[in-house]
Amino acid sequence: MECLRKREGQDPEIREIQLTYGRAVRAYVWLMTQRKQWDDLSLDKLAQKAVDNHRNRQRSPGYENGDAVDYLRELKKNIDEMGINDEHVNAYWASVEARLEEES
């Protein structure tokens, strides 16, 4: 848990999450609370920023850490494997994925 706190920069909240097969569970969730820089951006603009950043990082030799696209890809994979249907993550990933496919 300490590793997650360090990575996310804050403590999680405990929320009830509805799984796709109907069961509700209590889960640790990290919420983006310092959003002022993102408040006026649409989902499509956020996706474009993530993809632009991803492309720039791919061109930077020696960059070892992931970026927003890498994080989102892994998050989507993990929640899908757990049977969690998060409409916001799904919409964000669909927008990012479409842009990645357009640019490849």
pLDDT digits 0-9 by tens, 20-30: 788 999 998 87
- The reported pLDDT for the residue numbered 77 is 92
Q: Where are the alpha helices (DSSP H) in 1-104?
A: 2-8, 43-58, 68-81, 87-103
pLDDT digits 0-9 by tens, 31-87: 766 656 666 778 888 899 889 888 887 666 555 666 888 889 998 998 899 888 888
Widest pairwise Cα distance in the chain: 45
Is the pTM for the entire model greater than 0.95? no
